[in-house]
Chain A
């Protein structure tokens, strides 16, 4: 058994030992109701199956020399949501507007005299929200709903509408920042054991992914075609490349795309649908390009301007606990490694962002892990165990450690405690990485630009000048 596999197995058993209660999967299918044929793969796949698949995948990846699930196109396609169509965008706007108007979390995540009162408000809010959605979509149906409160007929519509909003969020993690949380908590409550029987409908549908569509139509061979990398790469405006080179790349990409559509279209899978899948994969690559770039730039800044072991006394990276707000004590060498490892970890997480979002959703909406409303020091939060995200993070951490041959500092992943209440708060933090690093990297690049034109700078660089003569 390779080191990687051994690590992986050890982590899985450690992670499952940390779960508070054994997962009871027997009732999962019954509670979710009959799934549509297309979604059978996702809906019925139990965690045990996921585990098995993960182990198989690791063996496969080991053989091909690649380490993370995110690096395999077929595996990644399981979590790449389909691009929204024009019609679906209209539905998206509807749902987003409805959520904007709703005050769900402010009304419900507060202290109540007793549980029954909270349930009452929850039900009121959820019914109002769902009725509003149906009424805006179809006036007559909404009118009927207001009368009899029977959502059964509107269930497919509601499932579709909410699935579209969630799909949009996964592909654009930086959008819908306030709205998505409200929506997810609303759905979490709508599915809970106390509200769901009263509501009479299940508003959850699995997010439509590239893999799900292809599997349903018998087109999975598309993902193993070697042209897929060319057909889904993002052509970036690179200053180093001439216009003709870029034009040639675009033509090559289009050719690969057309070739794939031609060869894999069938009676069940149209060329348009293949294009949709390929564009969705390309969107994923585009997201990765924009989010990973700032991290890579920071890593470059670190490795170019500082050396892991040679220290220039003025520019040492050492920190001491208690000085200038530091909580850790590291020598220059240790701090260098610490920063480098943290940046690599963030890069690995961002690379796997779509999968982690899907898992976070599954954890939050899970019927097996109920949440508890607790005062965490940051207000009332929904504290909930999240085994899927926990496991995935441990995997990513293990692979990062293996690649970097070492780890400085703690490996503790807080999840389900007062620091990080649930999977949503956890994953939301990592969408912030680009927000922190991109402006930083951009500023430093701009700084160079504003100085480089002028060699008058040379007149002003005597080393005796003290740093920080501030202009206030």
Chain B
């Protein structure tokens, strides 16, 4: 079973390094990009806004290209427990 997971990561992303860097880059860019506010003026880099954009990223996770990887490693939701 594990062998197949490795192959999936390799085929879909180009390898573990690549997959990891992709996820990290997307997280560090877009979970901290000031998005998620109700309107243009409320979003941003204020102390509270940093958390808001992190949540915004979480809510968009299911549309990401690497969502499959999250599911395969046992991720269920940000609110709940892990599968294993």
Contacts and interface: CB of A to CB of B under 8 A. Distances in A.
Interface of A: 301-302, 305-306, 314-319, 324-328, 335-336, 338-339, 342, 345-346, 377-378, 393, 397, 408-414, 419-420, 426, 429-430, 432-433, 435-436, 439-440, 442-444, 446-448, 450-451, 453-454, 456-457, 459-463, 465-471
B14 A461 contact: yes
A456 B10 CA distance: 9
A66 B12 CA distance: 48
Given A435-B78, A463-B14, A467-B18, A413 B48 contact: yes
B51 A442 contact: no
A455 to B, nearest CB: 9
Interface string B5-23: 1111111111111111111
B51 A306 contact: no
A447 B19 contact: yes
A414 B14 contact: no
A301 B10 contact: no
Interface string B69-83: 110111101110010
Nearest to B25: A315
A327 B8 CA distance: 34
A318 B14 CA distance: 22
Of the listed residues A451, A454, A463, the one surrounded by the most CB atoms of chain B closer than 10 A to its CB is A451
B13 A468 contact: yes
B16 to A, nearest CB: 4
Contact of B15 (A408, A413, A457): A457
Given A325-B35, A338-B32, A457 B46 contact: no
A339 B30 CA distance: 10
Interface of B: 2-3, 5-25, 27-35, 37-38, 40, 42-51, 53-56, 58, 60, 65-66, 68-70, 72-75, 77-79, 82
Nearest to A414: B48
B22 A467 contact: yes
Contacts of A465: 11, 14
A319 B33 contact: yes
A430 B51 contact: yes
A470 B8 CA distance: 10
Contact of B6 (A346, A444, A454): A454
A328 B48 contact: no
Given A302-B28, A324-B30, A450-B5, A467 B13 contact: yes
A42 B74 CA distance: 46
A76 to B, nearest CB: 23
B10 to A, nearest CB: 3
Given A319-B30, A411-B47, A447 B25 contact: no
B6 A457 contact: yes
A305 B30 contact: no
Given A306-B24, A410-B46, A468-B65, 8 more contacts: A324-B30, A345-B50, A408-B45, A450-B5, A453-B2, A453-B6, A457-B10, A467-B13
B42 to A, nearest CB: 6
Contacts of B18: 461, 467
A326 B48 contact: no
Nearest to A433: B51
B37 A335 contact: no
